[in-house]
Amino acid sequence: MTRTVYVNGEYLPEDQAKVSIFDRGFLFADGVYEVTSVLGGKLIDFDGHAVRLERSLKELQMTAPLTKDELLDIHRELVTRNDVTDGMIYLQITRGADADRDFVFPSDDVPSTVVLFTQSKPGLAESPTAQKGIKVISIEDQRWGRRDIKTVQLLYPSMGKMMAKAAGCDDAWMVEDGHVTEGTSNNAYFIKGNTIVTRPLSNDILHGITRAAVLRFAEEAQMKIDERLFTIEEAQGADEAFITSASTFVMPVVEIDGKPVGEGNVGPMATRLREIYLDESRKAAI
């Protein structure tokens, strides 16, 4: 089945969708994005993603080209047209295509470019990876200083994934001034006793939508949350570790830089958190 994608007001077969070579997303990585997961044909945490998108646009002085309701309609339309049961919807908004390449932002009458497409992943929530956990390496965090804005500048995270792959691992945790910031495309946590430790929100990390939900559910499940800086060594010495993101939900981490976390197996707390997150998210899906 040919995928139907959305580009600037039109639903088109993916091979007919076009964006200008002068698009600032292409030339300057001048754009923002969101990834919303779909479970059972419904959107998970759509509101959170829409609110963060608005914030990303505002921080880059971009005007939101569509309202939240319009975006919701497009998301739903794409789910229907592509018959997505489980998977993700990728959305990207760039500052549009000016007449030529220019570092200076174009005037406000240059329309932004809006692209959305689906990625079908049947059985996304039943991922076998969640049963065995993932292995991570640590790398230096060499990204820019506004990681709270979800921009499409993903070269360093992409290089981080390649470094992990080359080391026979699944992902990389990035470290700045001796402390873990986050994973290449996820937030990072460890569990010691009944306490979940994760870096506090700031410009240093993306304010994960899954992070917010998981911490809320964890508190409701009587777990303690300690938002503070932490080191790789602390995480290696923890009982359990995990990551969160819209596409992996809660994913256990069983090894960091070749050292097993706890017993080196998927632990009960991360498993429980994953179950709670999936149950609650499915209930609230729209």
Of the candidate spans 82-90, 125-133, 185-193, 228-236, the one that interacts with ligand PMP by CB under 6 A turns out to be 185-193
CB closer to ligand PMP out of 74 and 205: 205
Site for ligand PMP, residues 238 to 267, rule: CB under 6 A: 244-246
Site for ligand PMP, residues 31 to 70, rule: CB under 6 A: 35
| 151 touching ligand PMP, by CB under 6 A | no
Q: Using the rule CB under 6 A, which residue among 82, 92, 138, 185 binds ligand PMP?
A: 185
Question: Quick check: 128 and 58 in contact, CB under 8 A?
Answer: no
CB closer to ligand PMP out of 95 and 147: 147
CB closer to ligand PMP out of 4 and 217: 217
Cα Rg of the chain, angstroms: 19
- What gap in Å lies between CA 158 and CA 177, rounded to an integer? 21
Question: Quick check: 252 and 241 in contact, CB under 8 A?
Answer: yes
Catalytic-labelled residue, pool 150, 165, 259, 283: 150
- Sheet containing 10-13: give its strands across: 10-13, 4-7, 113-120, 87-94, 31-39, 42-43
Q: Using the rule CB under 6 A, which residue among 5, 180, 206, 238 binds ligand PMP?
A: 206
| 274 touching ligand PMP, by CB under 6 A | no
**Catalytic residue at 68?**
no
* Smallest gap from residue 170 Cβ to ligand PMP (A): 15
β-strand partners of 232 = none
- Of 42, 41, 19, residue with least CA distance to 92: 19
- What gap in Å lies between CA 112 and CA 198, rounded to an integer? 35
CB closer to ligand PMP out of 4 and 187: 187
| 273 touching ligand PMP, by CB under 6 A | no
* Smallest gap from residue 110 Cβ to ligand PMP (A): 27
> 46-59 and 209-220 are packed helices; what angle lies between their axes, rounded to 10 degrees?
130
* Smallest gap from residue 221 Cβ to ligand PMP (A): 19
Q: For the chain, give me the number of helices (H) and strands (E)?
A: 8, 15
Q: Using the rule CB under 6 A, which residue among 82, 138, 210, 236 binds ligand PMP?
A: 210
At residue 124, φ and ψ (nearest 5 deg) are -50, -40
β-strand partners of 255 = 135, 260
| 211 touching ligand PMP, by CB under 6 A | yes
Indicate which residues carry an active-site annotation. 150
Q: Which parts of this chain interact with ligand PMP (CB under 6 A)?
A: 35, 182, 185-187, 206, 208-211, 244-246
